[in-house]
Structure 1
């Protein structure tokens, strides 16, 4: 069986790397029990560092919409050049929006 594909960076997600379930509509904005997508943990962190829950619910509730956001598109292009098991070695808090 092949590895699932991350909907943000479009790289495979090997079973030995951190992964996350992303609620396409945030739970606090009515997405509890709604659709989720499996993605790399690093990609999931970047989404939540970039967008507020309100922005996610209103304008970025699909993988396609997420990839159109300028910062996320730049991140996806950058991380796509890394191997599927790439992990950030820099722990950090959310960056300013």
Structure 2
């Protein structure tokens, strides 16, 4: 799956490969404005406690692993 680090709605054109559950985690935890500000700064994204917890959890999973996550709470 391809991911726009800066959302298309915010003028993003670049894409990077990203596993679908990783993309789902980002869109669940960040608004488009927040993703626009972070852009390609992975370090800034990892500062979010939910993202850090997810990355630590998924690190030892098989590359084909999939899971369902709760929808963004607004």
Normalization by structure 2: what TM-score?
0.82
Greater share of residues in helix: 2
Q: What residue is the counterpart of 1:95 in the other structure?
A: 72
- 40, 61, 68: which one aligns with 2:39: 61
Give the root-mean-square deviation of aligned CA atoms.
Answer: 1.8
Give aligned pairs, total: 73
After superposition, give the CA deviation of every residue in 1:38-90 in whole Å (9 maximum; x if it has no partner): 011111111101101011012x21152323322111101101121111111x4
Residue segments in structure 1 that go unaligned for 5+ positions in a row: 1-19
Q: Which has the higher strand share?
A: 1
What is the TM-score with the length of structure 1 in the denominator? 0.65
- In structure 2, do the counterparts of structure 1 residues 75 and 93 end up closer, same or farther at CA, with 3 Å as the change threshold? closer
Unmatched 5+ stretches in structure 2 = none
Question: What is the CA–CA distance in structure 1 between the aligned matches of 2:23 and 2:41, rounded to whole Å?
Answer: 11
**Cα gap change, 1:93 to 1:78, in 2 (>3 Å):** closer
Q: Which has the larger radius of gyration?
A: 1
